[in-house]
Amino acid sequence: MEIFDVIVIGAGPGGHAMAEQAAHDGAKVAIIEKSLWGGTCTHRGCIPTKALLACSKHYAALKKLKRMGINVGPASFDFAAMKRHQQQMVKISALGVEKSLREAGVNLKSGEGKILSPREIQWTDTDGNQHALQTQHLVIAWGSEPQLLPDIEPSEHILTSDGFLELQMLPESMIIVGGSVIGVEFATFLAELGVKVTLIEMMGQILPLEDEDASSLLNQELTRLGVTIHTSATLQRIHETADSVQIVATRQGQDFHLTSAYALICTGRRPRLHVEELNRLGIRHNPKGIFVNEDLMTNIRDIYAIGDVTGGIMLAHRAMHQGKALASTLFGSRAIVYQEEAVPAVIYSHPQVARVGLTEKQARQQGLELEVKKTDFAANIIARIELMGQGFVKFLFHKDHLVGVTIVGEGAADLITPMSLAVANGLGKRELSRWIIPHPSLSEVMTTSS
């Protein structure tokens, strides 16, 4: 029987980061992955969607070049080549996960891991052979899966994000149900390639968890791209024909009908829970995820859970930092600490939307005394030179301490990074005033001085 200090089940971002960090800290580590090294992020989420969005972004950007005096002639695109780019990036990412784990000294085991007890794992390899493994610590990193509406099942014309990424032909039209992160990213990609897109969101704004000003600006930009957006709209019925999808939705008590070649259901993701296994072990959970304490341990000693399976905001970098923090707790110096409030969220629409900490609405609901400072991309010379379009940065201060930042605009995903460091370290106006920002640069939109 093989014996390990820690066994991780699931090689998505969280499991990968935990296993690699634990191995670097000197632990004997095994990681079990049933099918896809890199998990959802690499194969069905972050990487393939960003590869496609990079293609549509560069295609759409060609329209700006004439203003700069650059003539490129009639533009066209090859969807099959875009798909090859998507697949190549997925392959590179997956191979990178395996390579980094092996180089760290992690024992990689392809197949299925079944938890028999807190210290015993049954590993069934890809040939169907069963092996007994023993461990001091066990980490559950099962990830998540698409969440569907009741009575809706994926089919030829009714897709989840997983199904969309398998398409080999660009659809002529698409109805997207759900205007949160996944929905607006796919809407961006499709609209930039000329697809007729209709977006339905049941809440009063797209990106319902984000800043209202950010949602409003992105709504405006998507509409400019040709996306038809219905907010405060509820899906009532969906009917698939041989070559189309027909939808009935309700808004303000009135039904309206839509027809499209495909429907894309983007109503979020849910933790992947092996309920029978959890119940047998006595691990506390509900449909929103496995319960863990501040050290990411379940109610069963030496069994831990990280990433999407714990619920909350389902982001790859959240899972990764949880994994690193757990490894640091078990085998390191405990120097790496996980802070939920310091997790940045990014939507890779065009323009991008990024946030760390509270939105203005959340802060006011908490009764915080707020000072709001807002800077605009239009006042930044690099944003004007590069024709970056609209954007802004909104800072929220409570008693001179930074409690939230929202950024909308090109480069938001990178600009939010120092702000997550500021929030994590409780920085305020005094500390931020010492930040020397190069000129001219887009980073100057981050200045908080009056």
In a domain, 225, yes or no: yes
In a domain, 345, yes or no: no
Mark whether 263 and 286 lie in a shared domain: no
CATH number of the domain that residue 241 is part of: 3.50.50.60
Rounded Cα distance between 437 and 248, Å, is 52
Secondary structure (H, E, C), 411-437: CHHHHHHHHHHHHHCCCEHHHHCCCCC
With CA atoms as reference, report the closest residue to 436 among 428, 447, 426.
447
Mark whether 17 and 106 lie in a shared domain: yes
Mark whether 229 and 176 lie in a shared domain: yes
Which strands sit side by side in the sheet containing 233-240, from one edge to the other?
233-240, 245-251, 254-260
Rounded Cα distance between 197 and 332, Å, is 49
Mark whether 261 and 301 lie in a shared domain: no
**Beta-carbon count within 10 A of 434 CB:** 7
How many domains are contained in the chain? 3
Q: Which residues pair with 131 in a beta bridge?
A: 123
User: What does the block give as tokens for 397?
Assistant: 């201060």
Domain membership of residue 310 as a residue range: 2-146+270-340
Mark whether 293 and 420 lie in a shared domain: no
In a domain, 320, yes or no: yes
Mark whether 224 and 367 lie in a shared domain: no
Mark whether 209 and 293 lie in a shared domain: no
At 149 the pLDDT is 86
Task: State how far the alpha carbon of 103 is from the alpha carbons of 21, 28, 41, 302, in Å.
Answer: 12, 13, 21, 26
Mark whether 102 and 179 lie in a shared domain: no
CATH number of the domain that residue 408 is part of: 3.30.390.30
At 449 the pLDDT is 65
User: What does the block give as tokens for 173?
Assistant: 């039209």
- The fraction of the chain above a pLDDT of 70, given in percent, is 100
Mean pLDDT of the chain: 95
Is 439 marked active-site? Answer: yes
Out of 340, 371, 398, a domain closes at 340
In a domain, 118, yes or no: yes
Mark whether 24 and 104 lie in a shared domain: yes
At 113 the pLDDT is 97
Out of 267, 290, 306, a domain closes at 267
In a domain, 208, yes or no: yes
In a domain, 187, yes or no: yes
Out of 207, 236, 267, a domain closes at 267
At 443 the pLDDT is 96
Which strands sit side by side in the sheet containing 158-159, from one edge to the other?
158-159, 262-265, 173-177, 196-200, 228-230
Mark whether 140 and 277 lie in a shared domain: yes
In a domain, 93, yes or no: yes
Mark whether 311 and 222 lie in a shared domain: no
Q: pTM of the entire structure?
A: 0.95
Mark whether 15 and 137 lie in a shared domain: yes
At 148 the pLDDT is 86
Options 16, 131, 321, 439, the catalytic residue = 439
pLDDT tens across the length of the chain (450 residues): 899 999 999 999 999 999 999 999 999 999 999 988 999 999 999 999 999 999 999 999 998 888 899 988 888 999 999 999 999 999 999 999 999 999 999 999 999 999 999 999 999 999 999 999 999 999 999 999 988 888 888 999 999 999 999 999 999 999 999 999 999 999 999 999 999 999 999 999 999 999 999 999 999 999 999 999 999 999 999 999 999 999 999 999 999 999 999 999 999 899 999 999 999 999 999 999 999 999 999 999 999 999 999 998 999 999 999 999 999 999 999 999 999 999 999 999 999 999 999 999 999 999 999 999 999 999 999 999 999 999 999 999 999 999 999 999 999 999 999 999 999 998 999 999 999 999 999 999 998 865
In a domain, 151, yes or no: no
